[in-house]
Structure 1
Amino acid sequence: MEMGHMPMPDDTKNMTMKMKMHMSFYWGKDAIVLFSGWPNQSLGMYILAIFFVFFLAMAAEVLSNQPVLRRGMNPVTGGLTQAAIYAFRISFLYLVMLAVMSFNLGIFIAAVAGHTLGFFIAKSRALAAAREEHGYSDDLTRKP
């Protein structure tokens, strides 16, 4: 036996063999996204994971850019509503972050695309609401 090398128990050896962590970006369906064994090297489940991350990122952006408070709203109700939306938004953001930490390029691209589309949706809604509030029509002129 070599000096400094200790034999590993079978349980530790099996665990080490099962966990394959990438430390740089890679392509492929052999990712572990959020849960052990998912997508389990299945192309269908990998595509589902990509869509799941995409929609999580998109929902997080939409939730972060939506006004929740209305005039005349009860402060307690408004505060609870904002706190609930914040909890969902932060949960979605943490799940997206953990998914991106799989270092899978498909998952990374899905997260960036989801954030981008969510930002676009939220900002286009905000611009439409601002136009309506200020009385602008589609051709950027004031309504008579």
Structure 2
Amino acid sequence: MEMRMTFVWGRSSESPEMYVFNLVSVFVLSLLVECLSHTRFVSSETDNIVAGLVQTGLYGARITMAYLVMLAVMSFNVGVLLVAVAGYTLGFLVFGSRVFDRSEYQKASDLPPLTC
């Protein structure tokens, strides 16, 4: 098995259909990470215990998806890197920026921000 430490273009062993599926999967995962990072799912009237359990579940899901994207990027494939960045960017545009002004929904997220 070849271990490379530089970014490469293209696919090495999978079929073209599987490569496209992998790219779409990484894009969707990174988009969902941004969705969970900037969306409020728990209302202020929710019981603290239920709200805490929902927040914990959402946090676990977000961290799992973020690590899966990170592992995909560690394949050192430029295509995977580009779709991950595109997914995070589009996710921030839709869910985190003021482009789609949702002033009545523009409250803080249920989850703490991802840190680098």
The question of a shared fold, defined as TM-score above 0.5 by the shorter chain, is answered with yes
2:7 partner letter: F
The answer for unaligned runs of 5 or more in structure 1 is 1-18, 31-39, 135-144
Deviation at 1:91, TM superposition (A): 0.3
In structure 2, the CA distance between the partners of 1:116 and 1:24, relative to structure 1 (3 Å rule), is: same
| Residue 48 (structure 2) pairs with residue 48 (structure 1) | no
Larger radius of gyration: 1
Number of aligned residue pairs: 106
* Larger RCO (CA under 8 A, 6+ residues apart): 2
**Which residue identity does 1:51 align to in structure 2?**
V
Query: Match of 1:78?
Result: 51
* Aligned pair partner of 1:120 in 70, 93, 96: 93
1:28 correspondence with 2:10 = yes
Question: After the TM superposition, which residues 98-113 of structure 1 pair with which residues of structure 2 at under 5 Å, given as runs?
Answer: 98-113=71-86
Query: Which residue is equivalent to 1:93?
Result: 66
What's the Cα RMSD here? 2.0
CA contact (8 A) 1:50 1:107 kept: yes
Q: Quick one: which amino acid aligns to residue 109 of structure 1? A: L
Say whether the 8 Å CA contact 2:93–2:99 is kept in structure 1.
Answer: no
Q: Is the 8 A contact 1:68 1:78 kept in 2?
A: no
Percent of aligned positions that are identical:
42
Match of 2:101, SS state, is helix
Change (3 A) 1:88 1:72: same
Which digits, 9 at most, give the CA deviation of each residue in 1:96-138, with x for residues without a partner?
00000000000000100010111111125895331x479xxxx
